[in-house]
Structure 1
Protein backbone atom coordinates (compact mmCIF):
# COMPACT_ATOMS: atom_id res chain seq x y z
CA UNK A 1 0.00 0.00 0.00
CA UNK A 2 1.23 3.47 -0.87
CA UNK A 3 0.46 6.19 1.64
CA UNK A 4 -0.71 9.54 0.32
CA UNK A 5 -1.08 12.49 2.68
CA UNK A 6 -3.44 15.27 1.64
CA UNK A 7 -2.15 18.85 1.83
CA UNK A 8 -4.36 19.81 4.79
CA UNK A 9 -3.10 16.85 6.82
CA UNK A 10 0.52 17.66 5.96
CA UNK A 11 -0.01 21.23 7.14
CA UNK A 12 -1.53 19.94 10.39
CA UNK A 13 1.44 17.64 10.94
CA UNK A 14 3.91 20.52 10.52
CA UNK A 15 1.90 22.75 12.89
CA UNK A 16 1.67 20.02 15.53
CA UNK A 17 5.39 19.26 15.21
CA UNK A 18 6.26 22.94 15.71
CA UNK A 19 3.91 23.26 18.69
CA UNK A 20 5.40 20.25 20.49
CA UNK A 21 8.93 21.38 19.67
CA UNK A 22 8.15 24.81 21.17
CA UNK A 23 6.99 23.16 24.40
CA UNK A 24 10.10 21.00 24.81
CA UNK A 25 13.10 20.52 22.57
CA UNK A 26 12.91 17.06 21.02
CA UNK A 27 9.22 16.52 21.71
CA UNK A 28 8.36 17.37 18.11
CA UNK A 29 10.80 14.69 17.01
CA UNK A 30 9.12 12.20 19.35
CA UNK A 31 5.80 13.08 17.74
CA UNK A 32 7.31 12.55 14.29
CA UNK A 33 8.72 9.14 15.28
CA UNK A 34 5.35 8.00 16.65
CA UNK A 35 3.67 9.20 13.48
CA UNK A 36 6.20 7.39 11.27
CA UNK A 37 5.66 4.15 13.22
CA UNK A 38 1.91 4.47 12.79
CA UNK A 39 2.24 5.19 9.06
CA UNK A 40 4.43 2.10 8.75
CA UNK A 41 1.86 -0.10 10.50
CA UNK A 42 -0.92 1.29 8.29
CA UNK A 43 0.99 0.65 5.07
CA UNK A 44 1.98 -2.89 6.09
CA UNK A 45 -1.50 -3.90 7.24
CA UNK A 46 -4.16 -1.28 6.45
CA UNK A 47 -7.02 -3.40 7.77
CA UNK A 48 -5.57 -3.75 11.28
CA UNK A 49 -7.38 -0.67 12.57
CA UNK A 50 -11.14 -0.53 13.06
CA UNK A 51 -13.50 0.83 10.49
CA UNK A 52 -14.86 4.09 11.77
CA UNK A 53 -17.37 5.16 9.13
CA UNK A 54 -18.03 4.04 5.54
CA UNK A 55 -14.70 2.27 5.03
CA UNK A 56 -12.77 5.06 6.71
CA UNK A 57 -10.48 3.69 9.41
CA UNK A 58 -8.91 5.36 12.40
CA UNK A 59 -5.49 4.63 13.89
CA UNK A 60 -4.61 6.38 17.14
CA UNK A 61 -1.16 7.54 18.16
CA UNK A 62 0.01 6.00 21.41
CA UNK A 63 1.77 8.96 23.09
CA UNK A 64 -0.06 11.88 21.56
CA UNK A 65 -3.77 12.77 21.40
CA UNK A 66 -4.15 12.43 17.64
CA UNK A 67 -5.47 9.90 15.20
CA UNK A 68 -4.97 9.15 11.54
CA UNK A 69 -8.10 8.73 9.48
CA UNK A 70 -7.53 6.85 6.25
CA UNK A 71 -9.21 4.90 3.52
CA UNK A 72 -7.74 2.06 1.49
CA UNK A 73 -8.27 2.78 -2.19
CA UNK A 74 -8.11 0.26 -4.99
CA UNK A 75 -6.30 1.29 -8.14
CA UNK A 76 -7.12 -0.53 -11.33
CA UNK A 77 -4.52 -0.72 -14.06
CA UNK A 78 -5.38 -1.48 -17.66
Structure 2
Protein backbone atom coordinates (compact mmCIF):
# COMPACT_ATOMS: atom_id res chain seq x y z
CA UNK A 1 0.00 0.00 0.00
CA UNK A 2 1.26 3.44 -0.88
CA UNK A 3 0.58 6.39 1.41
CA UNK A 4 0.08 10.02 0.44
CA UNK A 5 2.63 12.28 2.14
CA UNK A 6 1.61 15.83 3.00
CA UNK A 7 4.20 18.26 4.40
CA UNK A 8 2.80 21.06 6.55
CA UNK A 9 3.97 24.58 5.86
CA UNK A 10 5.77 24.73 9.21
CA UNK A 11 7.82 21.67 8.25
CA UNK A 12 8.59 23.18 4.84
CA UNK A 13 9.91 26.26 6.63
CA UNK A 14 12.02 24.08 8.94
CA UNK A 15 13.58 22.40 5.92
CA UNK A 16 14.17 25.71 4.13
CA UNK A 17 15.86 27.15 7.23
CA UNK A 18 18.12 24.10 7.56
CA UNK A 19 18.97 24.20 3.85
CA UNK A 20 19.89 27.88 4.10
CA UNK A 21 22.21 27.18 7.02
CA UNK A 22 23.87 24.21 5.29
CA UNK A 23 24.37 26.18 2.08
CA UNK A 24 26.15 28.90 4.09
CA UNK A 25 28.49 26.24 5.48
CA UNK A 26 29.39 24.59 2.18
CA UNK A 27 28.10 25.13 -1.35
CA UNK A 28 26.03 22.12 -2.38
CA UNK A 29 25.36 20.87 1.14
CA UNK A 30 21.80 22.23 1.06
CA UNK A 31 21.11 20.03 -1.94
CA UNK A 32 22.44 17.03 -0.03
CA UNK A 33 20.17 17.87 2.91
CA UNK A 34 17.14 18.19 0.64
CA UNK A 35 17.98 14.85 -0.99
CA UNK A 36 18.20 13.16 2.42
CA UNK A 37 14.86 14.70 3.46
CA UNK A 38 13.32 13.49 0.19
CA UNK A 39 14.56 9.96 0.88
CA UNK A 40 12.77 10.01 4.23
CA UNK A 41 9.56 11.21 2.55
CA UNK A 42 9.80 8.38 0.02
CA UNK A 43 10.31 5.88 2.84
CA UNK A 44 7.27 7.28 4.65
CA UNK A 45 5.16 6.91 1.51
CA UNK A 46 5.97 3.19 1.42
CA UNK A 47 6.41 2.14 5.06
CA UNK A 48 5.40 4.86 7.53
CA UNK A 49 5.06 2.45 10.45
CA UNK A 50 8.76 1.48 10.48
CA UNK A 51 9.40 4.31 12.93
CA UNK A 52 7.95 4.05 16.43
CA UNK A 53 5.35 6.34 17.94
CA UNK A 54 7.19 8.49 20.47
CA UNK A 55 4.52 10.96 21.59
CA UNK A 56 0.88 9.89 21.45
CA UNK A 57 0.37 9.00 17.77
CA UNK A 58 3.34 11.08 16.60
CA UNK A 59 6.23 9.21 15.00
CA UNK A 60 9.80 10.32 14.44
CA UNK A 61 12.07 9.48 11.51
CA UNK A 62 15.78 10.22 11.58
CA UNK A 63 17.80 11.64 8.70
CA UNK A 64 20.89 9.48 8.41
CA UNK A 65 23.47 11.99 7.28
CA UNK A 66 22.19 15.07 9.08
CA UNK A 67 21.20 15.49 12.75
CA UNK A 68 17.53 16.17 12.01
CA UNK A 69 14.30 14.47 13.02
CA UNK A 70 11.14 14.33 10.91
CA UNK A 71 7.99 14.34 13.06
CA UNK A 72 4.81 12.95 11.50
CA UNK A 73 1.57 11.10 12.06
CA UNK A 74 -0.43 8.66 9.99
CA UNK A 75 -4.22 8.85 9.62
CA UNK A 76 -5.70 6.34 7.22
CA UNK A 77 -3.58 6.42 4.09
CA UNK A 78 -2.20 9.93 4.70
CA UNK A 79 1.16 10.72 6.30
CA UNK A 80 1.37 14.30 7.55
CA UNK A 81 4.84 15.69 8.25
CA UNK A 82 4.46 18.12 11.13
CA UNK A 83 8.00 19.37 11.70
CA UNK A 84 11.66 18.81 10.92
CA UNK A 85 13.78 19.67 13.95
CA UNK A 86 17.45 19.54 14.80
CA UNK A 87 18.30 16.57 16.96
CA UNK A 88 19.64 18.84 19.68
CA UNK A 89 16.55 21.06 19.81
CA UNK A 90 15.03 21.52 23.26
CA UNK A 91 12.79 18.43 23.61
CA UNK A 92 10.36 20.30 25.88
CA UNK A 93 9.47 22.63 23.00
CA UNK A 94 8.88 19.95 20.37
CA UNK A 95 5.40 18.73 21.49
CA UNK A 96 3.97 22.25 21.15
CA UNK A 97 5.06 22.29 17.51
CA UNK A 98 3.30 19.02 16.77
CA UNK A 99 -0.27 20.17 17.35
Q: TM-score, normalised by structure 2?
A: 0.72
Shift of the alpha carbon at 1:38? 0.7
Shift of the alpha carbon at 1:54? 1.1
Aligned length in residues: 75
Q: 2:71 aligns with which of 69, 74, 78?
A: 69
Structure 1 runs (4+) greater than 3 angstroms displaced: none
Shift of the alpha carbon at 1:56? 0.9
d(CA) in 2 for partners of 1:5, 1:46: 14
| Equivalent residue runs for 1:1-78 within 5 Å | 1-74=3-76
**What is the SS of the residue equivalent to 1:9?**
helix
Residue by residue, what CA displacement relative to the aligned partner does 1:32-78 show, whole Å, maximum 9, x if unpaired?
A: 11101111111100101111111111000011111111100126xxx
Cα RMSD, aligned residues only: 1.1
Structure (1 or 2) with the larger CA radius of gyration: 1
- Can you give the 5+ residue segments of structure 2 that lack an aligned partner in the other structure? 78-99
Q: TM-score, normalised by structure 1?
A: 0.90
- Can you give the 5+ residue segments of structure 1 that lack an aligned partner in the other structure? none
Which structure has more relative contact order (CA 8 Å, sep 6+)? It is: 2
